[in-house]
Amino acid sequence: DTEVTQTPKHLVMGMTNKKSLKCEQHMGHRAMYWYKQKAKKPPELMFVYSYEKLSINESVPSRFSPECPNSSLLNLHLHALQPEDSALYLCASSQGVGQGALEQYFGPGTRLTVT
């Protein structure tokens, strides 16, 4: 199974709402990633969890809060977002160490619209 799943597929939220994005993988990978992708742009790394610990935070605003409950699950909690946060949010996973850490498998993404 080489699949990364993400829910929901689409999300519309107001600027005062609290919502969460979910990501799941069953490949035994020990690293998981959140990316943000604006239209016609490459993915931008937001967070990396390695062995369930946050290893990289690319100076992401605190209105985005990641969580890794276990090695298969990754959440992104959203609160008080701005319209400019509207984007496709991609989850990815990879092996935790070595060359395999760079070979990332992506989910289909959650299309987020902030109104």
List all residues 6 or more positions away from 91 whose beta carbon is below 8 Å from its beta carbon: 4, 6, 21, 23, 32, 33, 34, 35, 74, 106, 107, 109
Residue 25 C-beta: closest distance to other proteins, Å? 12
**Residue 73 or 105: which CB sits closer to other proteins?**
105
Q: Contact positions toward other proteins, by CB under 8 A?
A: 4, 6, 31, 33, 40-43, 45, 48, 50, 55-56, 88, 90, 92, 94, 99, 101-109, 111
Residue 90 C-beta: closest distance to other proteins, Å? 6
**Residue 37 or 75: which CB sits closer to other proteins?**
37
**Which position has the token pair 């005062």?**
16
Residue 16 C-beta: closest distance to other proteins, Å? 27
Instruction: State phi, psi for 100 to the nearest 5 degrees.
Output: -65, -20
**Residue 5 or 15: which CB sits closer to other proteins?**
5
